[in-house]
Amino acid sequence: MRHHVAALVTLAAALATTIPAHAAPADDPEPAPRPGVFLTVSGSDNTWIRGLKLMCAPEPSGHHPHAAEACAAIDAVDGDLDELPGKDPLCTKEYDPVTVTAAGTHRGQDIAWHRTYANDCLRHAMTDPVFDF
């Protein structure tokens, strides 16, 4: 499972940057990576996966259904997703692990983060609105 998560984080980081179609001349500054965080949610043993790119600058955008709220939540914890406040979960003790990852750049700060929750209810309670898609 750790290999799958590491591969997802690596893939997400690669997708979060752009690759120029041609090499820039030596005197041209290298283009800055496009800001944004690639978010994924995957089920037990990678039985399913979904992902999207969240852009927060200059304003919330992307395919995230709650982009403004997700950006505000990331801003509130200064990009440290371990500090998302979560809420008191009213979840069963069912074990059906769900893994979430975030990789990219948020307001100039690199993010490479993942966490596995015992079930989707706990994931929802602890990470929304960031992973609510």
Q: Is 36 left (phi over 0), alpha (psi -120 to 50) or beta?
A: left
Q: How far is CA 129 from the centre of its chain?
A: 11
pLDDT value for 27: 57
**In the chain, where does DSSP find H-type helix?**
2-15, 67-76, 120-127
Whether 21 shows a pLDDT value over 50: the answer reads no
Q: Quick check: is 59 in a domain? A: yes
**Average confidence score pLDDT of the chain:** 82
Q: Quick check: is 71 in a domain? A: yes
Number of domains observed in the structure of the chain: 1
* Domain membership of residue 112 as a residue range: 2-15+33-127
Q: What is the pLDDT of residues 81-95, one digit of tens each?
A: 999 999 988 999 999
Neighbour tally for 62: CB within 10 Å: 18
Whether 130 shows a pLDDT value over 60: the answer reads yes
Q: Quick check: is 28 in a domain? A: no
Q: 34 is written with which tokens?
A: 């496009």
Q: Quick check: is 133 in a domain? A: no
Residue 51 identity: G
Q: Of how many residues is the chain composed?
A: 133
Q: 86 is written with which tokens?
A: 């979560």
111: β partners: 104
Lowest mean pLDDT among 14-18, 50-54, 116-120, 121-125: 14-18
Q: Please choose, from the candidates 37, 38, 40, 126, the residue with its C-alpha nearest in 3D space to the C-alpha of residue 84.
A: 126
Q: Determine phi and psi for 131, rounding to 5 degrees.
A: -105, 30
pLDDT value for 1: 46
**The CATH number of the domain where 60 resides is what?**
3.30.350.10
Band of pLDDT at residue 47, cut at 50, 70 and 90:
confident
pLDDT value for 35: 82
pLDDT value for 44: 85
